[in-house]
Amino acid sequence: MKILILLSIFYSSLSFGFVLIYPKYELRDATKTKIKLSSEGCTANGIPDSKIVEAIKISIDFWNDAPESRLNLKYGGRSSASLTDSRIPVNEIIVGCASLPSINILGSAEHDRDNGSARVKMNSDVYTGSYSDASFIGTMIHEIGHGIGLAHSKDAASVMTYSANGWGDRPKYISQDDVDGIVYLYPNEKEIGGLAGSCSSFANEGGKPKNFYLDAILGFVFMFLFAFVFKKIIKR
Ligand SMILES: [Zn+2]
């Protein structure tokens, strides 16, 4: 199973290549990380907490949708930490709004490498007044992807792409490239039934994997042998 995962990651990295933020950055504990509202949230630019919470929860559902990874993000309410704090608490990704250098930058993510935590800034100059909900949610999913440890990908299906993409403002579901990235960072050590397709999972149950085709051929051979012997007995 491990070889299969490694091979599939190797193959997809040849074709597209998810990229890591820093080789040494990862969440301290991918099973305990909570995404929280920063202490300031986005109220200064008129976005109610409920809107950020909705986008955080959609982002969590998006990134948790890979059972091959142990990543299990949870919503954690409001953090005591502000976006301007120099340190971000362990096991937190905090999300809020701040003015970024250009309106072409929709959001940004910064890392506390020692704590394995991150902050996500949504650009308050873009997301103010009448803004696109889909863009707000899509940007948050992308920035949380950075917070998890992924950099930009060349795969147009990936939410981490930085160029023309195949999904518009907001992807509907996670791409294989994004899954490969988080499986690389946070593999699930538990065996996943059906990872290689539900057809093969039955063959792996109970010890040594069996060869389905060999079983089938042997089955036919024994069936004919039995029929042959049975005929001989009847003839007597
Ligand atoms: Zn980005």
Question: Are 103 and 217 within one domain?
Answer: no
pLDDT of 222 reads 55
pLDDT of 216 reads 53
Q: Tell how far the Cα of 139 is from the centroid of ligand 1, in angstroms.
A: 8
Q: Answer yes or no: is 137 within a domain.
A: yes
Q: How confident is the model at residue 23 (pLDDT cuts 50, 70, 90)?
A: confident
Give the other-Cβ count within 10 Å of 114's Cβ: 11
Examine the pLDDT at 220 and tell me if it is beyond 60. no
Question: Are 203 and 181 within one domain?
Answer: no
Residues forming a β-bridge with 97: 122
pLDDT of 163 reads 76
Question: Are 36 and 142 within one domain?
Answer: yes
Rounded-to-integer distance, Cα 173 and Cα 54, Å:
16
Question: Are 81 and 175 within one domain?
Answer: yes
Cross-sheet strand order for the sheet of 117-123: 74-78, 34-37, 92-98, 117-123, 107-112
> Which backbone phi and psi does 234 adopt, to 5 degrees?
-65, -40
What is the average pLDDT score of the chain?
A: 83
Q: Tell how far the Cα of 183 is from the centroid of ligand 1, in angstroms.
A: 19
Q: Tell how far the Cα of 150 is from the centroid of ligand 1, in angstroms.
A: 9
Question: Are 205 and 135 within one domain?
Answer: no
pLDDT of 234 reads 61
What is the number of domains present in the chain?
A: 2
Q: Answer yes or no: is 34 within a domain.
A: yes
Ramachandran region, residue 165 (left: φ > 0; alpha: ψ -120 to 50; beta: rest):
beta
Q: Tell how far the Cα of 188 is from the centroid of ligand 1, in angstroms.
A: 25
Residues 13, 180 contacting (CB under 8 angstroms): yes
Residues 6 or more apart whose Cβ sits within 8 Å of residue 194: 200, 201
Q: Tell how far the Cα of 143 is from the centroid of ligand 1, in angstroms.
A: 6
Domain residues for 220? 198-235
- Can you list the positions of beta strands (E) in 104-179? 107-112, 117-123
Q: Tell how far the Cα of 88 is from the centroid of ligand 1, in angstroms.
A: 20
Q: Answer yes or no: is 67 within a domain.
A: yes
Rounded-to-integer distance, Cα 107 and Cα 120, Å:
7
To the question of pTM greater than 0.85 for the whole model, the response is no
Question: Are 119 and 231 within one domain?
Answer: no
Question: Are 209 and 114 within one domain?
Answer: no
Q: Tell how far the Cα of 121 is from the centroid of ligand 1, in angstroms.
A: 11
Q: Tell how far the Cα of 7 is from the centroid of ligand 1, in angstroms.
A: 27
Q: Tell how far the Cα of 72 is from the centroid of ligand 1, in angstroms.
A: 21
Examine the pLDDT at 30 and tell me if it is beyond 90. yes
Q: How confident is the model at residue 6 (pLDDT cuts 50, 70, 90)?
A: very low
Residues 92, 27 contacting (CB under 8 angstroms): no
Q: Tell how far the Cα of 153 is from the centroid of ligand 1, in angstroms.
A: 9
Question: Are 121 and 218 within one domain?
Answer: no
Question: Are 86 and 203 within one domain?
Answer: no
For 166-198, write each residue's pLDDT tens digit: 788 899 899 999 999 999 999 998 766 555 545
Which range, of 34-43, 156-165, 190-199, averages the lowest pLDDT? 190-199
For 59-96, write each residue's pLDDT tens digit: 999 999 999 999 999 999 999 999 999 999 999 999 99
Rounded-to-integer distance, Cα 192 and Cα 2, Å:
11
Of 25-39, 183-197, 212-226, which has the strongest mean pLDDT? 25-39
Question: Are 55 and 104 within one domain?
Answer: yes
Q: Answer yes or no: is 28 within a domain.
A: yes
Q: Answer yes or no: is 190 within a domain.
A: no
Q: Tell how far the Cα of 198 is from the centroid of ligand 1, in angstroms.
A: 35
Question: Are 163 and 205 within one domain?
Answer: no
Residues forming a β-bridge with 69: 187
Specify the DSSP element, H or E, that contains 36: strand 34-37
Residues forming a β-bridge with 161: 153
Question: Are 13 and 109 within one domain?
Answer: yes
Domain containing residue 85: CATH number: 3.40.390.10
Rounded-to-integer distance, Cα 197 and Cα 84, Å:
46
